[in-house]
Amino acid sequence: MWDYTDKVLDHFYNPRNMGEIKDANGIGEVGSIACGDMLKLFIKVDEKGIITDAKFKTFGCGSAIASASALTEMIIGKTIEDAKKVTNEQIAEYLGGLPRAKMHCSVLGHEALEAAIRDYEGDKTGVQPEEEEGKIVCKCFGITDAKIKRVALENNLRTVEDVTNFTKAGGACGSCIPEIEDILYELWKDEPAPKEKIATARIEKPKMTNLQKINMIQETIEREIRPQLKKDGGDIEIIDIEGNTVKVAFRGHCTGCMSSQITLKHFIEAKLREFVSPEIEVVEIKQT
């Protein structure tokens, strides 16, 4: 589905420095299961301010794993001051490039590094300072206006498609796209290009046949969803697919779980909207 470099695939299949550091003196945790990607970065810093070890735990796609793995290799041996200069673009470059639609994974790595450094330096909030007062723009992925502005400025993002690729905002239901356009216009309004050229329409995915859509739904469940559910003793079964409606039943520990509706909408549906179509709706069929 994505054109990955050999280095991305290598870091995905053979991730470096996966795990945790028990006596880490800097920990950064960013993202969430609701957003589909979550990363926890551990760093160990010596008395000279040099990062002597770095490890990670992640919940996400292959690009998220590869980006986190690459990040740890990049920062081990660096001073804290040099690590602060690492950008998400450098993470992508280290991997030989990432698909444009997966650049949000490099941003996740960069944010985890910043959070870990802030933790090391004594800031225990674990969030981007400018996002503490940010307003949620993309409710599907919990992305604030402050994050959109910061990432857009750092990466010179000029279109809604760029913002979606780097933050996921606008990539699900699409209701926040007009607000993203307004944010971009305010950021770049002094540029010579008019508004209609600065903020373009959302990403348009090619139309699929019903068979292609069914296959993609099945593949996404097998690759992205079922392994995570099984970690907690749960599972999922596809009951039926009608157009954009996917009917499923929970199995194992997921059956009757009080958090099942959160899992259904904020994990399963979010993943299918990300990898298959933003129009996907997942409903639970309770069987007796």
Among 149, 171, 198, identify where a domain stops: 198
Question: What is the C-alpha separation between 117 and 10, in angstroms, rounded?
Answer: 27
Confirm whether 1 is domain-assigned.
no
The arithmetic mean of pLDDT across residues 100-106, rounded, is 89
Please answer whether residues 247 and 195 qualify as being in contact, where contact means their C-beta atoms are separated by less than 8 angstroms: no
Can you give the pTM of this predicted structure? 0.63
Please answer whether residues 25 and 49 qualify as being in contact, where contact means their C-beta atoms are separated by less than 8 angstroms: no
pLDDT by residue (tens digit) across 166-213?
Answer: 988 887 777 888 999 999 999 988 776 545 555 554 444 446 677 778
Strands 136-138 and 51-59: unpaired
Q: Which domain holds residue 137?
A: 129-198
Among 96, 120, 144, identify where a domain stops: 120
Residue 38, pLDDT > 60, answer: yes
End-to-end CA distance of the chain: 37
Report helix angle 177-188 to 160-167, nearest 10: 110
Catalytically active residues, by annotation = 35, 105
Give the pLDDT band of residue 9 (cuts 50, 70, 90).
Answer: very high
Give the other-Cβ count within 10 Å of 205's Cβ.
11
Question: What is the C-alpha separation between 83 and 50, in angstroms, rounded?
Answer: 9
pLDDT by residue (tens digit) across 213-261?
Answer: 888 888 889 888 988 888 888 899 998 888 899 999 988 888 877 778 8
Q: Residue 178: which of 191, 193, 196, 192 has the closest Cα?
A: 196
Among 70, 92, 120, identify where a domain stops: 120
- Report the pLDDT value the prediction gives residue 132, as an integer from 0 to 100: 47
Residue 109, pLDDT > 90, answer: yes
Confirm whether 172 is domain-assigned.
yes
Give the pLDDT band of residue 50 (cuts 50, 70, 90).
Answer: very high
Query: Looking at 80-94, 149-163, 263-277, which range is the least confident one?
Result: 263-277
Could you give the count of Cα atoms lying within 13 Å of 155 in the half-sphere of its Cβ?
A: 28
- Report the pLDDT value the prediction gives residue 287, as an integer from 0 to 100: 64
Q: What is the CATH number of the domain that holds 273?
A: 3.30.300.130
Cβ-based neighbours of 71, under 8 Å, separated by 6 or more? 41, 54, 56, 86, 91, 109, 110, 112, 113
* Average pLDDT, rounded, for the chain: 85
Question: What is the C-alpha separation between 128 and 134, in angstroms, rounded?
Answer: 10
Total domain count, the chain: 3
The arithmetic mean of pLDDT across residues 12-18, rounded, is 94
The arithmetic mean of pLDDT across residues 31-53, rounded, is 87
Instruction: Return the bridge partners of 56, or none.
Output: 18, 41
